Structure 1
Amino acid sequence: MDPRLSGGYLTVDLTAIQKNYQILKAEVESSECAAVIKADAYGLGASEVGNALYRADCRKFFVALPEEGISLRKSLPIDAEIFILGGLFIDCEDLYIKERLTPVLNSLDEIRIWSELAHDHGPLPALIHLETGICRLGLMAEDIEELKANPHWLDGIEVQYLMSHLASADIPASEQNAEQLDELHKLIANLPEGLQHLPVSFANSSGIFLGKEYHFNLVRPGVALFGANPTPGKANPMNPVVQWQGKILQLHNVDSQKPVGYGATYRTGQKSRIATVAIGYADGYFRNLGNKAYCTINNKRVPVVGRVSMDMITVDVTSLEEEDCKRGDLVTLVGDDITLDEVAKQAGTIAYEILTSIGRRCYRRYLTDGV
């Protein structure tokens, strides 16, 4: 993409991602730290992010879908391990073997299928997922009883980790965290004897900050790598990673009481200068940010006024000097002192959704110090 032709830029600081990985790795001390880079590394580019994390000594990567794993395999060195959280997809099992992808086995059916494949291909690696309270994927207590009665279903499977997933880790006071931890210990104790002493992976980004008892052997941070706050209500320990900017297309000097944008949801209270910026909801800037959000121009805050439209937003730049705000200048939507979490809160959502919604019309550029 020619950046001159785009309406805006998404700048991704790969060095900041590496620093965030090291922060999280230090937090868990002796436990290993993987990286969750599903959904194209939360919209930031799985190949670029994956390689930056590899250079920071990360060797274990989690994605959601086999297609994501196949794509990532092409860009990472051969010793990188890639785990598929979504499990074994029907009629795709041979691809996992061909592309060296390790499935997270979420059901007894998947366990049996993987074991049958191992009869022909030799021992095959896997993780086994235990369902502890989020009710999405994984073996439940009754499944474990059935597995104990049929231990041969595990023949040929090299189980590398047992895993589960926290549902409320971003709410430290939630009783569900301790309940899930207790359930995980109970399920592990009831597994076939050969599985009871395997390494365990439990904590996600926020789970890392719940305490050592949640760390086990392998943690799986995702959104914290990309600068979102894994400790809501406290200072963000992570470095900012993204800067999202849009180009000013035009500026208007308008009288007071003039309507701005669709539906006339905003009227100027005085003579005003309005900048039209080439970012809209088609680029992932949520429609409900209209009349709520702020941007920055040269590190000065200016409000988004009127509705967000498909390709444009309008910003009141009356407070700025004209020479500081011209056609072609950049308006920062996320970055400077506009944090990812602030925009998410204004949009009534979470940082995950903001990141994964940023559209491909924005030119992506990557910063690195060569590490």
Structure 2
Amino acid sequence: MNDYREGLLSINLKSIADNYLDLADRLAVGARCGAVVKADAYGLGMVQVVPALYAQGCRDFFVATQSEGERLRSDFGDEVNIVILTGVRPGAELECARAGLIPTLFTIEQFRNWVKVCERTQLEAPCALKVDSGMTRLGLGPEEFELILKDRPLLEAANIRMLLSHLACADEPQHPQNQIQLSNFKAAGEKLRGLCPGILLSLANSSGIFLGEEYHFDIARPGSALYGVNPVFGVKNPMRPTVTLQLPIVQKRLVSQPQSVGYGATQEIPGGSWLAVARGGYADGIMRAQGGRGRGWAHGRPLPMVGRVSMDSTTFDISGLGKEERESLQSIEILNDDLTVDEVAGYAGTIGYEVLTSLGHRYHRRYVKG
């Protein structure tokens, strides 16, 4: 029997599937919705999440590394398209091609190496190109892109399936960078399609979907919104929460005199306070920056975190609970429908992505399908 003594992380696969359908319904006619499942589906478990998305019709999956793609391919065979967002490392092109993965290429050297492998092996190995439309991260710069466009034999041998770029400020709909990147990407797409008809265009991430139909092109690739992170800054989150995290209480105590709490004595509580120490700390993804700022949840109300978060424990002030509520208290929730990943991220001075991908592996994981 498992008593969840290390904490219980519940992941709602139905909510993830519903978020996918919501995002797909927002797309322009003719555009299809993929899914970014990199970093083990943002920490929630790629092996469990991908089948839930597949059941809703998703066939385009985006991962970060070749090993992630190989793992996904072994489970789904040739039924899905798998795009590696960070390309293919030198010397790994043949394994990538044999696995039927689609690498995103963003340097001329990568592009030429890929074509050499395709020509040498006679494999029908599709690839994707990424252009830098203004984020100044991964992507072919304008000069490099023009050099590739001028090399017709290279283009014809490459089997380009898709052209991608990535938005830098999509979560801020009024930011002028969005329109600049849209214009740059549209121009690049028109040029490449003039030489390689039939390629697919992909620009919109989670937030990009909410910028409007002109950003949708052929394939959208939402990630964080699937997992409940708010895709639009400053408005009510349209996505469903997907995770609940419960930490077991290992000690409850009455502090009779004013006392400081935790490392560094950074916070003092008054005499007569009740404290609960929960099993779970920064080794489990309870970010240290939340100390003295964050909160937990129990009996339908918030409970303040007090003192610094430790490696394996976090302390809460439960003075606001009634006597019977304190006595019955066995666990405190760190994430739930009321205490969302975005709120927790705010306490830690970070983003919901980091909250999800930091969730530890000591928790018992329960996957909810209904």
Q: Same fold (TM over 0.5)?
A: yes
What whole-Å deviation, never above 9, does each CA across 1:197-238 have from its counterpart, x for those lacking one?
A: 632100000000001110011000000000011011111110
Q: Are 1:21 and 2:20 an aligned pair?
A: yes
The reply to whether residue 342 of structure 1 matches residue 343 of structure 2 is yes
**Which residue does the alignment assign to 1:357?**
358
Is 2:268 aligned against 1:267? yes
Q: Distance in 2 between matches of 1:97 and 1:3?
A: 43
- Structure 1's 326 and 196: CA in aligned 2 closer, same or farther, altered over 3 A? farther
CA distance in 2, matches of 1:166, 1:196: 24
Question: Where do residues 13-92 of structure 1 align in structure 2 (5 Å cutoff)?
Answer: 13-30=12-29, 31-92=31-92
CA distance in structure 2 between the partners assigned to 1:141 and 1:96 by the alignment: 27
| One-letter amino acid of the structure 2 residue matched with residue 100 of structure 1 | G
The two structures have a TM-score, normalised by structure 1, of 0.95
Query: Can you list the C-alpha shifts for 1:20-61, whole angstroms capped at 9, x where unaligned?
Result: 000000000421000001000000001101111111111110
* Gap regions ≥5 residues in structure 2: none
Change (3 A) 1:28 1:355: same
Partner residue in 1 for 2:235: 234
1:113 partner letter? N
Cα gap change, 1:191 to 1:97, in 2 (>3 Å): closer
Q: For each residue in 1:323-362, what CA deviation from the matched residue of structure 2 results, as whole angstroms up to 9, or x when unmatched?
A: 3235871211010311111110111000001101111111
Deviates more, 1:199-208 or 1:106-115: 106-115
Contact 2:189 2:201 in 1 (8 A): no
Q: CA deviation at 1:115?
A: 1.3
Distance in 2, matches of 1:37 and 1:186, equals 29
Bigger shift: residues 206-215 or 128-137: 128-137
Other structure's SS at 1:4 match: coil
Q: What corresponds to 1:300 in structure 2?
A: 301
Q: In the aligned structure 2, how far is the partner of 1:126 from the partner of 1:326? A: 60
Which has the larger displacement, 215-224 or 328-337?
328-337
Deviation at 1:177, TM superposition (A): 0.3
Secondary structure of 2:103's counterpart equals strand
CA 63–215 in structure 1, closer or farther in 2 if over 3 Å, else same: same
1:253 paired residue number: 254
| Deviation for aligned residue 1:147 | 1.3
Task: Give the Cα separation in 2 of the matches to 1:198 and 1:336.
Answer: 41
Deviation at 1:62, TM superposition (A): 0.2
Matched ranges for 1:208-223 at <5 A: 208-223=209-224
What's the counterpart of residue 138 of structure 1? 139
Moved more, 315-324 or 54-63: 315-324
Rounded to whole Å, the distance in 1 between the matches of 2:368 and 2:21 is: 18
Deviation at 1:134, TM superposition (A): 1.2
Identity %: 39
In 2, Cα distance between the equivalents of 1:151 and 1:51?
40
Q: Is the 8 A contact 2:149 2:155 kept in 1?
A: no
Work out whether residues 252 and 276 of structure 2, in 8 Å CA contact, stay in contact via their aligned partners in 1: yes
Paired amino acid for 2:295 = Y
Q: Which amino acid aligns with 2:225?
A: A
Q: Which residue number corresponds to residue 333 of structure 1? A: 334
Whether contact under 8 Å (1:166, 1:204) holds in the other structure is yes
CA–CA separation in structure 2 for the residues paired with 1:323 and 1:71: 49
* Structure 1 residues not aligned, in runs of 5+: none
In structure 2, the partner of 1:129 is 130
Contact 1:299–1:337 under 8 Å retained in 2:
no
Query: Which deviates more, 301-310 or 140-149?
Result: 140-149
Match in the other structure for 1:4: 3
Q: For residues 61 and 140 of structure 2, what CA distance do their matches in structure 1 show?
A: 22
Partners of 1:63 and 1:192 in 2: how far apart?
Answer: 25
Check conservation: 2:100, 2:125, Cα contact below 8 A. no
Superposed displacement of residue 320, structure 1: 1.1
Q: 1:296 to 1:312 in 2, by over 3 A?
A: same
Paired residue for 2:164?
163
Give the 3 Å change call, closer, same or farther, for CA 196–100 of structure 1 in structure 2.
closer
- Distance (whole Å) between structure 1 residues aligned to residue 265 and residue 360 of structure 2: 26
Amino acid at match of 1:239: R
Aligned equivalents of 2:4, 2:41: Cα separation in 1: 25
Answer with 85-94 or 69-78: which moved more: 69-78
1:107 offset after TM fit, Å?
1.6
Aligned partners of 2:35 and 2:222 also within 8 Å: yes
C-alpha deviation, 1:196, in angstroms: 6.2
CA RMSD of aligned residues (A): 1.7
Q: In structure 2, the residue corresponding to 1:236 is in which secondary structure?
A: coil
Secondary structure at the counterpart of residue 126 of structure 2: strand
Code of the residue aligned with 1:217 in structure 2: it is D
Residue in structure 2 matched with residue 185 of structure 1 by the alignment: 186
Q: Assess if the C-alpha contact under 8 Å between 2:90 and 2:110 holds in 1.
A: no
Structure 1 residues 327, 360: CA separation in 2 closer, same or farther (over 3 Å shift)?
farther
TM-score normalised by the chain length of structure 2: 0.95
CA gap of 1:192–1:78, structure 2 versus 1, over 3 A, is closer
Q: Deviations over 1:230-288 (max 9, x none)?
A: 01111111011011111100101111411211122122124011000001001011111
